[in-house]
Amino acid sequence: MLVGGGAIEISRMVSLKTQLQDMADSAALIGAYSARNEFSQREERVRENIFFNQKGLTDQSISANSIITFNDEAEEVTVQIPTQMNMFFGGVLGQDIQNINVESTASYKTEKVDPVTIAFALDVSGSMGWNAGSGAPKIDVLKQSTKILFDEIEAGTPNPALLPESIRTGMSAYNTDIVDVQAMNWGWAHLEGAVNSLFANGGTNSTPALESAYKQIRDDRQFRKTHDPSFIESSHREYVVFMTDGDNNQVLWDEESAQICNTMRNDGIELFSIAFAAPEKGEVLLLDCASWNDGVEKPDDPEMESFEELSKNPNDKCAKPGENGNALGLANGNSGGGKSLGHCRAKEAKEIDKSEYYFDAENETTFKQAFARIGKEIANLTIRTKS
């Protein structure tokens, strides 16, 4: 009877300890996740997890008695679960209660960052040499803002030292043609150096730069597949950052640029666009190019669909094309006033449809804020830690 009773107690102890260990492991993982994402009530989240998993156990004080320790220096969380088991045969064996303690530790140190590719299409036309409203030329504000974008990406990453191994960046600067191309490469030091060497001159045609940005991203996909054995395409996110302070010198170039933007979006590339005190026609193109917010149900052809609807009102100048008869209304003209249908919907689109990707910067301050927000968005969307 003693041997049989002892075997039963040992079996109960092993079963309870296994159950408690699973609870500790689960709670530690929740703690690590909470710490990585900087949740303010991380300990409360761990206790809630333990409380949920303690159901079915006779000791309902497990959650309250658990010891949860966050070591931010070592970047790890330890969960200790002490409890007591009543012994059925305790009186016979001389022990009524058996203490059981389990412990689990999980790291929230960043060990890997998801792959990110960023291609820039930057306007360096003559108007970029104009005053930004604060005394500095727009081209100098662009140089400062590019650095701000990467500073925000670093700030949003728990272990910035890993970023140069995951982020690849390239650039195409343009006026009426491409004036400088910075080849896609690891990190961004090379890109910041190239941006700092840019100067303002010439007219405006965004199409070649957008085509170049698209080619850089497509080539980078193949490069990663070929040279990085650990590359996981499903976790790879690709971005184009497109800015202008003006508008294209020919209507055809607007149409070509809008088409290449649509092609990139359909290819899974996310487009951020920034208008730097740009005229309405330039804002229209940037708005049309920008990606849609997550969760927005996109019409098959939003510009044309809206154009047909607005055309029912002949007094609405936004519903009319320019004098050249451009269906998108991108042409300058007395009837359309250079306003496309997209711009008639601009307020709605900025606040609802494309607010995460389109930025209308009127001065140096708002332009820098736009680049800072893009950097934060890229960090939030792509920086995933794995241990």
Query: Residue 33: inside a domain, yes or no?
Result: yes
pLDDT given for residue 93 in this prediction:
58
Q: What is the phi-psi region of residue 56: left when phi exceeds 0, alpha when psi lies from -120 to 50, beta otherwise?
A: left
Phi (first) and psi of residue 304, to 5 degrees: -70, -40
DSSP H/E element including 122: strand 116-123
User: CB within 8 A of 164, min separation 6: which ones?
Assistant: 186, 187
85 and 122 assigned to the same domain: no
Question: What's the one-letter identity of residue 362?
Answer: E
pLDDT given for residue 322 in this prediction:
38
Query: Residue 328: inside a domain, yes or no?
Result: no
Of 121, 117, 130, 145, give the one whose Cα is nearest residue 257. Answer: 121
User: CB within 8 A of 387, min separation 6: which ones?
Assistant: 32, 106, 107, 108, 109, 110, 111
Query: Residue 297: inside a domain, yes or no?
Result: no
Q: Residue 352's CB: how many other CB atoms inside 10 A?
A: 12
Q: Tokens representing 200?
A: 């303002």
Of 96, 103, 87, give the one whose Cα is nearest residue 25. Answer: 103
Q: Is the dihedral of CA 313, 315, 320, 323 positive or negative?
A: positive
Query: Residue 76: inside a domain, yes or no?
Result: yes
CATH number at residue 177: 3.40.50.410
Distance, in Å, from the CA atom of 105 to the CA atom of 246, rounded to the nearest integer, reads 55
381, burial (CB in 10 Å: exposed 0-12, middle 13-18, buried 19+):
middle
93 and 210 assigned to the same domain: no
Whether 382 and 152 have beta carbons less than 8 Å apart is answered as no
Query: Residue 285: inside a domain, yes or no?
Result: yes
231 and 272 assigned to the same domain: yes
40 and 88 assigned to the same domain: yes
- As a dihedral over the C-alpha atoms of residue 248, residue 250, residue 255, residue 259, rounded to 10 degrees, the angle is -60
Distance, in Å, from the CA atom of 126 to the CA atom of 146, rounded to the nearest integer, reads 19
Structural domain total, the chain: 2
Query: Residue 309: inside a domain, yes or no?
Result: no
253 and 364 assigned to the same domain: yes
Give how far Cα 302 sits from Cα of 18, 258, 305, 372, Å. 57, 12, 5, 29
Q: Supply the pTM of this predicted model.
A: 0.66
Question: Per residue in 230-266, is it b (16+ CB within 10 Å) or e — as a string?
Answer: eeeeeebbbbbbbbbbbbbeebebbbbbbebbeebbe
Regions of the chain where pLDDT drops below 50: 301-347, 349, 384-387
59 and 131 assigned to the same domain: no
Domain end (from 107, 126, 153): 107
Query: Residue 329: inside a domain, yes or no?
Result: no
84 and 133 assigned to the same domain: no
142 and 99 assigned to the same domain: no
Question: What is the three-class DSSP state of 116?
Answer: strand
User: CB within 8 A of 353, min separation 6: which ones?
Assistant: 292, 293, 296, 345
Domain end (from 68, 88, 107): 107
Query: Residue 326: inside a domain, yes or no?
Result: no
96 and 128 assigned to the same domain: no
Distance, in Å, from the CA atom of 180 to the CA atom of 197, rounded to the nearest integer, reads 10
What residue numbers bound the domain in which 274 lies?
116-291+356-382
120 and 216 assigned to the same domain: yes
Domain end (from 64, 88, 107): 107
267 and 233 assigned to the same domain: yes
Of 378, 8, 345, give the one whose Cα is nearest residue 163. Answer: 378
222 and 132 assigned to the same domain: yes
Task: State the DSSP string of 303-359.
Answer: HHHHHHHHTT-TT-GGGS--TT--TT--S--TTTTT--HHHHTHHHIIIIISTTTEE
Residue with tokens 């940037």: 286
